[in-house]
């Protein structure tokens, strides 16, 4: 673990907190706190920000994620705001022809025993936050950006920006794709730009052309580009994400973009799609990142979780859901090895590595398929038109049918 400048500090002056420290109060951090509380384990979430912002746009949550939200007590809040899309409708971005329609809604729920939801990311976060706030075993400390961490004498010490020092039995770093804690302790290197940028926005339903007022996930495919949109916020709004090839990385995260930026990238699109993409006044762009090397997920009494451990590309809509799965697995591991977090974290790493690796590979493959051009795109479209919808969706049973090891 990092030894400076904490070595010079009197760790005995640290506030000794019960249970586990969690650095980061995003989807992964809050879900972990809730999963631990379900196993009777106390935790303190240390969040860098003073208030949670309105960041993010839409998020799709497959049955492997909604099942967990249910277990964590976050589903009732979200159920009123999330939408259950009937289908995934795949269209050609150039001419708006329908390439295929695959079942979601009732089909997913009956096949996997949990629904497929689409929601505003803010609503997912609020659902977790309000469940965590009601839980006596969880403390949330805002404005505590974890700087230095030290694993020493059966405690883990974490220092905040103003020198405040706390300690817990273990520490889980859930500090997101740009994780500073990963770099210092777990390896993996600095994230690289993948050559693709995602532009995201949410607009009121009244601003969406009427032909697209459908409770479906729309997926538009074009050469080196795809666009996804779906209703969120109880149907009052629509979340849109467009992913393009890009030659340079924006030098900041979540860059505001205006209409002209998107218009320059949507020439050649069919009129209904161009029309939709011309409606939002503001977009935010995210460079898509990949780690040059796989970091460790466990080092002594510290562990890495969520995007900090595995920032998967969004072509399978599973990054946040992987953080939910991580949360349940790490909580179960800590409950199975009381007093031995290092062993628990090794077990967590062992259980998660193959799964997140498979999801990351499937996501990269989806990205390649989505962005095909020329004869390869024609072959993809031919195959999409031929495969039966149920057979196609059945190929993702391994993904959506996941349950925590040992559960029924």
Active site residues: 230
In the bound state with ligand FAD, the residue whose beta carbon lies nearer, of 137 and 360, is 360
User: Using a CB cutoff of 8 Å and minimum separation of 24, what contacts does 128-134 make?
Assistant: 128/27, 128/30, 128/31, 128/34, 128/69, 128/72, 128/74, 129/25, 129/30, 129/52, 130/74, 130/77, 131/34, 131/72, 131/73, 131/74, 131/77, 132/30, 132/33, 132/34, 132/37, 132/45, 134/73
Shortest distance, position 210 Cβ to ligand FAD, whole Å: 25
If binding means CB under 6 A, how many residues of this protein chain bind ligand FAD? 33
**132 counts as binding ligand FAD under rule CB under 6 A:** no
Q: Which two tokens stand for residue 393?
A: 């969706």
Among 60, 64, 185, 197, binds ligand FAD (CB under 6 A): 60
Q: How far apart are CA 237 and CA 233, in angstroms?
A: 6
**28 counts as binding ligand FAD under rule CB under 6 A:** yes
In the bound state with ligand FAD, the residue whose beta carbon lies nearer, of 168 and 314, is 314
* Total number of residues shown for the chain: 408
DSSP 3-state of 309: coil
**168 counts as binding ligand FAD under rule CB under 6 A:** no
**151 counts as binding ligand FAD under rule CB under 6 A:** no
**195 counts as binding ligand FAD under rule CB under 6 A:** no
**24 counts as binding ligand FAD under rule CB under 6 A:** yes
String of DSSP letters for 220-275: EEETTEEEEEEEEGGGTEEEEEEEEE-SS--SSSSEEEEHHHHHTT-TTS-HHHHH
Among 105, 143, 145, 404, binds ligand FAD (CB under 6 A): 145
* Contact region with ligand FAD (CB under 6 A), list: 108-116, 174-182, 348-356, 398-406: 174-182
Q: How far apart are CA 262 and CA 258, in angstroms?
A: 7
* Contact region with ligand FAD (CB under 6 A), list: 100-108, 149-157, 313-321, 345-353: 313-321
Among 19, 85, 191, 306, binds ligand FAD (CB under 6 A): 306
Q: Which position's Cβ is nearest ligand FAD?
A: 26
DSSP 3-state of 396: coil
Burial annotation 333-349 (CB, 10 A radius, 16+ → b, else e): bbeebeebbbebbbbbb
* Contact region with ligand FAD (CB under 6 A), list: 6-14, 312-320, 328-336, 398-406: 312-320
**114 counts as binding ligand FAD under rule CB under 6 A:** no
Q: Note the residues at the interface with ligand FAD (CB under 6 A).
A: 23-29, 46-49, 59-60, 145-146, 174-176, 180, 198, 200, 241, 286, 306-308, 314, 317-321, 323
């Amino acid at each position: 673990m990092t030894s400076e400048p904490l070595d010079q500090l009197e760790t005995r002056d640290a506030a000794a907190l019960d249970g586990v420290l969690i650095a980061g109060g995003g989807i992964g951090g809050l879900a972990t706190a809730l999963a631990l509380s379900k196993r009777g384990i106390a935790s303190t979430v240390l969040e860098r920000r003073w208030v949670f912002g309105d960041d993010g746009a839409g998020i799709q949550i497959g049955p492997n994620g909604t099942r967990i939200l249910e277990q964590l007590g976050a589903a009732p809040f979200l159920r009123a705001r999330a939408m259950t899309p009937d289908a995934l409708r795949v269209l050609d971005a150039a001419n708006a022809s329908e390439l295929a329609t695959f079942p979601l809604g009732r089909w997913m729920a009956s096949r996997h025993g949990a629904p497929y939801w689409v929601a505003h990311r803010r609503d997912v976060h609020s659902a977790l936050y309000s469940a965590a706030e009601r839980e006596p075993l969880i403390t949330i400390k805002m404005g505590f950006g974890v700087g230095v961490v030290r694993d020493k004498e059966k405690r883990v010490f974490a220092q905040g920006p103003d020198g405040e020092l706390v300690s817990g039995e273990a520490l889980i770093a859930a500090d997101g794709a740009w994780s500073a804690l990963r770099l210092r302790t777990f390896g993996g290197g600095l994230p690289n730009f993948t050559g693709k940028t995602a532009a995201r926005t949410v607009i009121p339903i009244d601003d969406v052309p009427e032909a697209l007022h459908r409770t479906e996930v729309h997926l538009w495919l074009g050469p080196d580009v795809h666009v996804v949109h779906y209703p969120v916020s109880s149907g009052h709004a629509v979340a849109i994400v467009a992913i393009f090839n890009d030659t340079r990385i924006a030098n900041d995260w979540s860059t505001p973009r205006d209409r002209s930026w998107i218009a320059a990238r949507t020439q050649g699109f069919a009129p209904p799609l161009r029309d939709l993409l011309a409606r939002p006044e503001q977009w935010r762009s995210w460079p898509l990142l990949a780690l040059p090397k796989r970091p460790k997920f466990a080092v002594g009494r510290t562990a890495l979780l969520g995007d900090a451990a595995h920032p998967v590309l969004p072509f399978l809509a599973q990054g946040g859901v992987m953080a939910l799965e991580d949360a349940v697995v790490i909580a179960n591991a800590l409950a199975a090895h009381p007093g031995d977090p290092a062993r628990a974290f090794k077990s967590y790493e062992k259980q998660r590595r193959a799964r997140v690796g498979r999801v990351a590979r499937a996501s990269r493959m989806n990205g390649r398929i989505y962005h095909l051009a020329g004869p390869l795109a024609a072959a993809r479209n031919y195959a999409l038109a031929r495969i039966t919808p149920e057979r196609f969706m059945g190929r993702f049973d391994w993904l959506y049918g996941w349950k925590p090891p040992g559960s029924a």
